[in-house]
A and B are shown apart, each in its own frame.
Chain A
């Protein structure tokens, strides 16, 4: 079965760029949306954006100016870059797989905590 694993720094300084990678194992990246979702402390889930395996992307309008999601199907990985971070970007970040037909996330990573602090 497909498994997802996030990796990247757990601490990022304000104004710098947060970079995370998700490694996909046990399945193909074709014909799915590959997504990033986060949950700030004490708050609900927030969709950051997703990329179709072909490269097309959709981003949360509130984050669009700072977000880049890319995919490397040869490595079975996809990545998140979030620039100019502030304390408000502190959250648990999940990578996830969603079905194309109806966008429901059926596979989640375990989540990785990213803290923005100097």
Chain B
């Protein structure tokens, strides 16, 4: 079965750039997206179609997807960005989530 691998945790200082990776075999051939999940809340879509931002998502969120790796980049990270982040891929049939990455801003 297809698997997506994320680092369990990433730490970043406020104002710095955070990068969260998501690895999977030929992931670049699939559509990748990213969700932010804060405790007690439903997930929020922050990147779709590899690199597109939904309306209302700050410009500091960006994404890329090539080869075997998709990357979520948060520029000028703010304390409000502290959350769990999940990547997700779709091959026009099945959907797979990564295991999630806890982003700590300190």
Contacts and interface: CB of A to CB of B under 8 A. Distances in A.
Contacts of A60: 94-95
B interface majority secondary structure: strand
A104 B33 contact: yes
Contacts of B86: 44-45
B33 A102 contact: yes
A46 interface: yes
User: Which of B1, B95, B97: most chain A CB closer than 10 A?
Assistant: B95
User: Which of A44, A60, A94: most chain B CB closer than 10 A?
Assistant: A44
Contact size class for B? 20 to 34
A109 interface: yes
Nearest to B89: A103
B43 to A, nearest CB: 6
Contacts of B33: 102-105
Interface string A30-55: 00000101000000111100100000
B43 A47 contact: no
B93 A58 contact: yes
Contacts of A104: 31, 33, 45, 48-49, 88
A106 B94 contact: no
A105 B45 contact: yes
Interface in B20-48: 31, 33, 35, 37, 42-45, 48
Contacts of B37: 45
Given A47-B97, A102-B31, 6 more contacts: A44-B98, A45-B35, A104-B88, A106-B54, A108-B44, A110-B42
